[in-house]
Amino acid sequence: DTGVSQNPRHKITKRGQNVTFRCDPISEHNRLYWYRQTLGQGPEFLTYFQNEAQLEKSRLLSDRFSAERPKGSFSTLEIQRTEQGDSAMYLCASSSPGRPPGQYFGPGTRLTVT
């Protein structure tokens, strides 16, 4: 499978715990994005990497959220001191400035904070 992969697919955690998600983009894609999607809403942009550089960070991303892409390949998204409001689907997407166009999404990690 050469698509975008995400792990874990589901995560249940207690409020206050830290969680970390991983995204492996399509190998030839140099751009990687993180989104959060809650029920009934379209995905909300969180952050964007070009290679290993984090170029954009949404105002939605509080200090409890951090993302890295250390070698310009896979990325991790960490949420510290989780809150119930963090419960959502976290989507990763990748793209390349060349063709084909568009961002290609992974299956997502569903986070439930109890």
Partner 1 sequence: EDKVVQSPLSLVVHEGDTVTLNCSYEVTNFRSLLWYKQEKKAPTFLFMLTSSGIEKKSGRLSSILDKKELSSILNITATQTGDSAIYLCAVVYGGSQGNLIFGKGTKLSVKP
Q: Does 45 bind partner 1 (CB under 8 A)?
A: yes
Nearer to partner 1, 72 or 107 (CB): 107
User: Under the criterion CB under 8 A, does residue 74 sit at the interface with partner 1?
Assistant: no
Q: Which stretch binds partner 1 (CB under 8 A): 21-29, 37-45, 63-71, 72-80?
A: 37-45
SS3 for 83? coil
Beta carbons of 77 and 60 less than 8 angstroms apart: no
Q: Is 75 in the site for partner 1 (CB under 8 A)?
A: no
Distances, alpha carbon 37 to alpha carbons 4, 70, 73, in Å: 17, 25, 23
- Residue position matching structure tokens 């942009």: 45
Contact between 86 and 79 (Cβ < 8 Å):
yes
> Is residue 41 near partner 1 by the rule CB under 8 A?
yes
- Match 């809150």 to its residue by tokens: 83
Nearer CB in complex with partner 1: 15/22: 22
Q: How many CB atoms lie within 10 A of CB 18?
A: 11
Binding segment for partner 1 among 13-21, 33-41, 59-67, 70-78 (CB under 8 A)?
A: 33-41
Interface with partner 1 (CB under 8 A): 31, 33, 40-45, 47-48, 55-56, 91, 93, 95, 97, 100-108
